Amino acid sequence: MDEKSLIRYSKGRCASCGTIMEVKEYHDLDRSRNPDITGVLMEEDFFMWECPQCGRRGHIAYPCWYFDPEEELGVALVPDIDSSTGAAALQGMNRNLEGLVQSNITRRAVGNFLALREQIAARYFGLDDRTVQLAKPLMIGQLQEEGKEVWNGYFVQILEDLGEEPLPGVLYLGSGEEEVDYSRPVYCYNVYLTDHTPMAVGVNEYAFQLCQELLDQSGAPPDDGRFHLYDLNWAIDFHNRRQQG
């Protein structure tokens, strides 16, 4: 990995004590040039900063572009963009694509590194990233019923070869016609509370496949090589429209 072309440095200010610190930014996130960058991105501390004075930690985000030609995945990180406010930004990004659109490339916009890492994980496990989003309101709704204040959640991995007992933090749904099979795969997420405390939660395979069926039944169009943004807000709107329709 050529760190000279990969790393830039900027200045940041701690929101707690005001200390000015140097922040390392990785910008050349192209696997064709830096094959090891995906492993770096998946490291837990990659998207975190820590104040050298007071020790406060937080997430970082800066504009950058991730591209994996083998997985045919491109992700633009636009800090704080979301599906409820980012329509104009997406239109501008797609105007810049005129003449360059490749229908075989999946292009996504995300608002932070957690969402970028989620896109990489979803691709690795062969999942439709829209289905990944649609499962989130199921888990978050359950946590809110327990009195927890939730910020967002991000897919991490699939656990297989499980035992016969339910795992803590997992939402198990079933058809009602047969008992829930706890040995089947679980789709794992980190859901962050409003104080950014992460909670390991998940849904069972039945719940995830139910979300996939809802997506298929919606007539959602296939990818067209343009930038799209699918996030928690999009998933909540999807479920609300389905209930109203």
How many Cα atoms occupy the beta-carbon half-sphere of 101 within 13 Å? Answer: 15
Instruction: Please give the helix or strand (H or E) that residue 199 lies within, else none.
Output: strand 198-204
93 phi and psi angles, rounded to 5 deg: -65, -40
% of the chain residues with pLDDT over 70: 97
Which of 101-105, 132-136, 156-160 bottoms out in mean pLDDT, i.e. has the lowest?
A: 101-105
Mean pLDDT across 104-111:
94
Average pLDDT, the chain: 90
SS3 239: helix
Residues 114-139: tens digit of each pLDDT: 999 999 999 999 999 999 999 999 99
Residues 38-91: tens digit of each pLDDT: 888 888 777 788 888 998 887 888 899 999 999 999 999 999 999 999 999 999
The whole model's pTM is what? 0.91
Q: In the predicted model, is pLDDT for residue 3 greater than 60?
A: no
Cβ-contact 93, 227 below 8 angstroms: yes
Distance CA 90, CA 108 (A): 10
Mean pLDDT across 217-243:
93
